[in-house]
C-alpha cells in the first residue's frame, strides 16, 4: 500500500454504527466506534455493532481509536471491540467519562487518553489534532489528521451554534486556517442535509421550556437523551427558578449526570437533588423529574411510569410530561403508544412539532455550505447519513465549488485511496452488521431474524409421533402442539384436520420409507404445510419422529 486508505466500516448508508478507518503503510487508526439500535425487523436483538473483520486483517498496524464525542452511536461498540483489540482510546474528558462507565459495566480496563483542542497526537505517520465543534453533547470535537499525502478533516457530528449554552463556540477560525493551509479530504456530517437554512441554537429551547414550567400545576416529567447534558441543565435552571427540586430517573441518565457533574459540565446543588424514594413526599408543584426513556424503550423509566408500573414514580392527573427529544426513525409507533398511555394517566403531554421543545444537534444546509467554503477541500466524502443524505450532500458540495468528480459517494466497506496521483475507489473490504443478543455476539444472523419474523407472523406447529423402528408402524401420535396459530375455540377442528392430513401422508408412504425418520419428517412437514396453506396460514412446522 503506497497511499492513504479511507475505509468506512459503519455510518455510511445508515444513522449509527459509526466507525471509519484511516490507514497508511505505517499504521491505522479508527475514528469513532458506535452502535446502532435495532429496528422493528431485528426481533430480540439488543444492539447492533459494526463488523470489524477488516481490523483483524490489519491488527498489527491498528494503533488506536479517536472519538469525536460521547453519543452511543459513536462510542457504544467500544466494549465489544476493545475486548478483542487492546489499543489506546483518545477522547475529550466527558467522552472518556462515558466510555469509562461503559467499560466498567463490561469489566474492562483499557488505556484511555485525554484529547483536547490544540493538542496533537502522533500515531505512526498520522498526526491528529482535535478542534472544538458544537453538538447536542458537550466536549464534541472534529479531527484534523495530517498524513504524508495531505490533511484530512473529519467534522464529527456538529452544528454551528453561535450561542451555545456552555459558551464553547465551534472553532471556525481553525477550520479556516486549515483551509488556507490546504485540505486534501473533508469528511462531513450529512444528517440534516435535507434541511434548509440553519439549525436553531440549543438556547432557543429554553424559552419554550420556560413557558411550560411557568404554567405547570403539578409534577413535571421531562425526558431527553441521557447524554443531553445541556438540555438537562436548562431543565435544572428552570426548576430552580420556579422553586422545584430535581430527581433523576433511569440508570443511564443517573450515570451520565454523575460523570458530567464530576467534570463541572452539569451544575446542580446537592440540596436541590431528591432521591427517588422521597419524591412522593414532596408536593407535586415542587418537583421536576428528569427521566430516561425518550424513545419509548420497553423497559425504560418513562415507559414504566406511563404504564403505572414504576415502583417509585406515579403520575397524577394534571402532571406535565415533556418529550424533549426527536423521534428516531422507526420509533414512531412506540412513541405514539407511550403518549397514549401518558394521557391515560391524566397527564398533559407536550411532544413533537406541536411543542417546540427540541432542536437538532446537526448542521443544516447553510452550515454545511459554510464548512465546505471554509475548508475548500480538494476531495469530499459525506459521512454519517442514510444513502439519500450522502447523495444530497455530494450535490451540495458541488453547488459550492467542489468538482463533482472529486465528490466520492462511499458506503460501508468501500475503500477510497488517496496519493500524489489523486483519489480513486480501490475495491471493497468486508463490512456489515453484527447483532448482539444477550451475551451472544454475532450468533444471531439474518437467517435467525428471518425465522423469528416467521414465528411472529405465522406461529409454530410442533408435530410429535412415534414409529416402530423396524416396521415403520405408527405407535404413538401424531400429537400436535401449537403456539400463535389458532385460538382455543377453533383449534380442535383445525388440529383434527391436520392429524388426518398426517395420517393420510403416512398411509401413502411405502414400508421402507416409513423406517427412515428423516423421510417421515419431510412427509409430515409437507402434509402440514398443505393443510395450513388451505387456511391461508404459514406457521413454522417442526416435526419430531421418535423411533421406538
In which residue are the cell numbers 428528569 written? 290
129 pairs with which residues across the strands? Answer: 144
- Most confident residue range from 175-179, 433-437, 524-528: 175-179
The pLDDT tens digits of the residues spanning 266-318 come to: 999 999 999 988 998 999 999 999 998 887 777 788 999 999 989 899 999 99
* 542 and 529 Cβ atoms separated by less than 8 Å: no
β-pairing verdict for 89-91 and 112-114: parallel
User: Which residue would you say has higher pLDDT here, 361 or 355?
Assistant: 361
Query: What does pLDDT average to over the chain?
Result: 88
* Among 40, 35, 37, CA closest to 17: 35
32/11 Cα distance (integer angstroms): 10
Predicted confidence at residue 326, as pLDDT, reads 80
C-alpha cell, 262: 464530576
**Angle (CA) 526 528 529, round 5°:** 65
The pLDDT tens digits of the residues spanning 318-350 come to: 999 999 988 776 677 888 889 999 999 999 999
Predicted confidence at residue 531, as pLDDT, reads 82
The pLDDT tens digits of the residues spanning 415-459 come to: 999 998 899 999 999 988 887 755 546 444 555 555 555 555 667
CA atoms within 13 A on the CB side of 425: 12
User: Which residue would you say has higher pLDDT here, 440 or 397?
Assistant: 397
Residues across the chain: 548
- Most confident residue range from 8-22, 429-443, 462-476, 529-543: 8-22
Of the ranges 38-42, 148-152, 169-173, 367-371, which one carries the lowest mean pLDDT score?
Answer: 38-42
527/96 Cα distance (integer angstroms): 59
Give mean pLDDT, residues 97-116.
93
- For 533-545, the DSSP string reads HTTT---EEEEEE
Give mean pLDDT, residues 55-73.
95
Predicted confidence at residue 43, as pLDDT, reads 46
The pLDDT tens digits of the residues spanning 22-55 come to: 999 999 999 999 997 655 555 455 578 898 999 9
User: Which residue would you say has higher pLDDT here, 214 or 440?
Assistant: 214
Residues 6+ apart with CB under 8 A from 509: 472, 519, 520, 523
Give mean pLDDT, residues 222-245.
95
Percent of the chain surpassing pLDDT 90: 65
- Answer left, alpha or beta for residue 174, where phi above 0 means left and psi between -120 and 50 means alpha: alpha
* 414 and 16 Cβ atoms separated by less than 8 Å: no
Predicted confidence at residue 434, as pLDDT, reads 82
In which residue are the cell numbers 409534577 written? 219
Of the ranges 2-11, 75-84, 298-307, which one carries the lowest mean pLDDT score?
Answer: 298-307
Predicted confidence at residue 488, as pLDDT, reads 54
518/524 Cα distance (integer angstroms): 10
C-alpha cell, 135: 453538538
409/425 Cα distance (integer angstroms): 10
pTM of the model: 0.83
Percent of the chain surpassing pLDDT 70: 91
324/349 Cα distance (integer angstroms): 11
- For 233-248, the DSSP string reads HHHHHHHHHTT-EEEE
Residues 6+ apart with CB under 8 A from 477: 463, 464, 465, 466
Give mean pLDDT, residues 67-78.
95
Peptide bond into 104 cis (omega under 30): no
Q: Is the pLDDT of residue 170 over 50?
A: yes
DSSP 276: G
Q: Is the pLDDT of residue 536 over 60?
A: yes
Looking only at Cα atoms, what is the longest distance across the chain?
A: 88
Predicted confidence at residue 447, as pLDDT, reads 54
Of the ranges 84-98, 176-190, 383-397, 496-510, which one carries the lowest mean pLDDT score?
Answer: 496-510
Catalytic center residues: 189, 362
Show the domains of the chain with their CATH numbers: 4-197+360-442 (3.60.15.10), 203-354 (3.40.50.10710), 459-547 (3.10.20.580)
Predicted confidence at residue 451, as pLDDT, reads 56
Residues 6+ apart with CB under 8 A from 346: 315, 316, 317, 318, 319
Amino acid at each position: 500500500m503506497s497511499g492513504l486508505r479511507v475505509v468506512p466500516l459503519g455510518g455510511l448508508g445508515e444513522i449509527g454504527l459509526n466507525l471509519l478507518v484511516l490507514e497508511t503503510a505505517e499504521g491505522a487508526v479508527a475514528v469513532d466506534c458506535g452502535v446502532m439500535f435495532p429496528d422493528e425487523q431485528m426481533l430480540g436483538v439488543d444492539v447492533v455493532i459494526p463488523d470489524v473483520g477488516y481490523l483483524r486483517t490489519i491488527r498489527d498496524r491498528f494503533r488506536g481509536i479517536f472519538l469525536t464525542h460521547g453519543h452511543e452511536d459513536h462510542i457504544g461498540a467500544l466494549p465489544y471491540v476493545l475486548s478483542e483489540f487492546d489499543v489506546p482510546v483518545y477522547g475529550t474528558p466527558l467522552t472518556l467519562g462515558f466510555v469509562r462507565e461503559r467499560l466498567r459495566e463490561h469489566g474492562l480496563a483499557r488505556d484511555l487518553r485525554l484529547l483536547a483542542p490544540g493538542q496533537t497526537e502522533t500515531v505512526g505517520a498520522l498526526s491528529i489534532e482535535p478542534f472544538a465543534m458544537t453538538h447536542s453533547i458537550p466536549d464534541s470535537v472534529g479531527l484534523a489528521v495530517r498524513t504524508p499525502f495531505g490533511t484530512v478533516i473529519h467534522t464529527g457530528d456538529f452544528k454551528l451554534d453561535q450561542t451555545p449554552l456552555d459558551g464553547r463556540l465551534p472553532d471556525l477560525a481553525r477550520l479556516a486556517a486549515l483551509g488556507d493551509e490546504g485540505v486534501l479530504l473533508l469528511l462531513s456530517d450529512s444528517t440534516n442535509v435535507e434541511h434548509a437554512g440553519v439549525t436553531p441554537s440549543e438556547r432557543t429551547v429554553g424559552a419554550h421550556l420556560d413557558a411550560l414550567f411557568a404554567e405547570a400545576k403539578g409534577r413535571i416529567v421531562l425526558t431527553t437523551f441521557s447524554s443531553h447534558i445541556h438540555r438537562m441543565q436548562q431543565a435544572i435552571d428552570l426548576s430552580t427558578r420556579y422553586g422545584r427540586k430535581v430527581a433523576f430517573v433511569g440508570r443511564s441518565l443517573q450515570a451520565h449526570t454523575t460523570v458530567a457533574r464530576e467534570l463541572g459540565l452539569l451544575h446542580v446543588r446537592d440540596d436541590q437533588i431528591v432521591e427517588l424514594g422521597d419524591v412522593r413526599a414532596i408536593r407535586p408543584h415542587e418537583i421536576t423529574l428528569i427521566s430516561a426513556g425518550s424513545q419509548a424503550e420497553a423497559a425504560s423509566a418513562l415507559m414504566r411510569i406511563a404504564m403505572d408500573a414504576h415502583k417509585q414514580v406515579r403520575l397524577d392527573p394534571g402532571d406535565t410530561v415533556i418529550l424533549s427529544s426527536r423521534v428516531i426513525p422507526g420509533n414512531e409507533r412506540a412513541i405514539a403508544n407511550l403518549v397514549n398511555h401518558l394521557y391515560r394517566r391524566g397527564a398533559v403531554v407536550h411532544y413533537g412539532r406541536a411543542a417546540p421543545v427540541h432542536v437538532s444537534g446537526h448542521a443544516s444546509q447553510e452550515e454545511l455550505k459554510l464548512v465546505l467554503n471554509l475548508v475548500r477541500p480538494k476531495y469530499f466524502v459525506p459521512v454519517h447519513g442514510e444513502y439519500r443524505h450522502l447523495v444530497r450532500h455530494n450535490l451540495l458540495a458541488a453547488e459550492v465549488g467542489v468538482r463533482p468528480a472529486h465528490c466520492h459517494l462511499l458506503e460501508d466497506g468501500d475503500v477510497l485511496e488517496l496519493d500524489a496521483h489523486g483519489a480513486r475507489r480501490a475495491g471493497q473490504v468486508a463490512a456489515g452488521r453484527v447483532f448482539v443478543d444477550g451475551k451472544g455476539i454475532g450468533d444471531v444472523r439474518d437467517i435467525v431474524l428471518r425465522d423469528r419474523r416467521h414465528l411472529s407472523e405465522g406461529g409454530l406447529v410442533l408435530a410429535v409421533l412415534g414409529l416402530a423402528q423396524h416396521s415403520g408402524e405408527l405407535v404413538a401420535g401424531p400429537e400436535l402442539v401449537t403456539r400463535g396459530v389458532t385460538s382455543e375455540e377453533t383449534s380442535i377442528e383445525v388440529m383434527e384436520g391436520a392429524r388426518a392430513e398426517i395420517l393420510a401422508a403416512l398411509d401413502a408412504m411405502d414400508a421402507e420409507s416409513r423406517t427412515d425418520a428423516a423421510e417421515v419428517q419431510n412427509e409430515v412437514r409437507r402434509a402440514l404445510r398443505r393443510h395450513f396453506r388451505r387456511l391461508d396460514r404459514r406457521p413454522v412446522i417442526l416435526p419430531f419422529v421418535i423411533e421406538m
